[in-house]
Structure formats: C-alpha cells, structure tokens
Amino acid sequence: MSVIVEKAKPGTFDEDIVLVERFLGGDASAFEALYAKYHEKVFAIARGILLDTDEAHDAVQEVFTLVYRHLGRFDKRSRFSTWLFRVAVNRSIQEARKFRHRAKTVELNEAVANLAEDPPESHDPRVQIALAKLSPNDRALLILFYWEDLSLQDIAQSIGCGVNAAKTRLYRSRERFRVIFEDTGEEA
C-alpha cells in the first residue's frame, strides 16, 4: 500500500486557543495576532491551490473574514491552525472550481509566466505546469503535505476525512503529479 512518511506531530498545547479566547472575549487585537501569524501560510495554501497570486490574495481576505465572523463555531477539539487551514483549503478549492473553466483556457506558459514576479532561484517550471494540470483537491493535498509539512492527521482534519483516507488520497495525488511531471519532462 501507499507509503507516506508520517511527520512528527507538534506539541499538544495550542497557544492559539488563548488568542481565540481573548478575541471571543472582545479583544480585537488578538485576532490581529492570529492574522499576522497565519497570513503567510494561508496565502501559500491559497496560492498553491489557485495558482494565481491575485486570486490568492482575495481568497486570503475571504478566509480571514469567514474566520473572523465564525470563530465562535470553532469547537477547540482540533488545533486552531488545523481549523483555519480547513477553511482555507475549502475556500480555495471553491474559488478554483469557480475559475476552473477560465483556467483551462489559459495557456500553461502564461501560468508559468505569472510566476516571473517571484524569485526564479529554485523552482522548476515543470512543477508549476504539472500542478496546473492537477485538480484543486490534488493540489491541496500536495501543498499541505510538502509545503506546509502538515502531519497526516492534520491533513485529514484539514480536508475533512479520516487519516487512512487522507493517506490514500495523498498517495494518488502524488502519483498523478508524478505521471504529469515526468511526461512534461519528456515533452520538454
């Protein structure tokens, strides 16, 4: 069966809960702290799923707005970051589906060219091409695992499934990515 190397789980104490409690108690600055802490991670998730910087910025604002309004629904059974990433993943996939038709008509070269504003130091354009060909769900799984270094348990909670299901889905996503990545290399 699939082999996904499990990452070490972080400590059980979630210091974010303190900030959440403070915000729910009326301290607006607590939310500012959460926003500052997780903005970059949420942006990375949104950027990875949407493959578009501008759309990712919009998605991040929507994600934090949703969290700001519905933080009272956070039941504290999981870590705040996991809950936040779940909102981010769902919202980004939602947006990606909305723009799916448009995305299909965009030339892949154009998608890669959009990355020109980013530092070109280490990225392989074939990765972006392969990611662009994957579904938003596949991209979400790969990003959470390889970019955000989440454990399988956190990924499972972030996408709303069991650990074994997350493992299987991640394996399949990686396999699809590999096939496209290798084909892209051969074409080049």
Partner 1 sequence: MKQRIPVEIDSLMWTLAETKNQAAIDEFISRNPLYRAQLLKRIETVGGLKAAKVPATTRVQAPRFEPLKTVPSDPSRMLVGIGIGVGLMILAIAAFVLTYNFAPSAELAPSKKPPNVHATRKGQTPEQPKPDLTPDKSSGTVENSLPVENESASTVILSIRSNGQPLASIFRTLESLAKVEIISSRDLDSKIVSAKFSDVTAMQALETMGLMYGFTAIDQHNGQIIVLPGTTQKGSSGTASKNLDQRRIGG
Residue 23 is a binding residue for partner 1 (CB under 8 A): no
Structure tokens given for 83: 């809950």
Site string for partner 1, 152-171 (x = CB under 8 A): --------------------
Smallest distance from partner 1 to CB 78, Å = 22
Alpha carbons 71 and 31: distance in angstroms, whole number: 10
Minimum distance from residue 12 beta carbon to partner 1 (Å): 25
State the burial class of residue 50 (Cβ atoms within 10 Å of its Cβ: 0-12, 13-18, 19+): buried
Among 11-19, 75-83, 141-149, 157-165, the segment contacting partner 1 (CB under 8 A): 141-149
Residue 53 C-beta: closest distance to partner 1, Å: 8
Structure token digits, residue 114: 């959009």
Cα separation, 137 vs 143, whole angstroms: 10
**Residues 32-71 interacting with partner 1 (rule: CB under 8 A):** 32, 35-36, 39-40, 43-44, 47-48, 57, 61-62, 64-66, 68-69
Query: Least distance in Å: CB of 187 to partner 1?
Result: 15
List interacting residues with partner 1 (CB under 8 A). 1-5, 31-32, 35-36, 39-40, 43-44, 47-48, 57, 61-62, 64-66, 68-69, 94, 97-98, 115, 118-124, 126-128, 131, 142, 146-147, 174, 177-178, 181-182
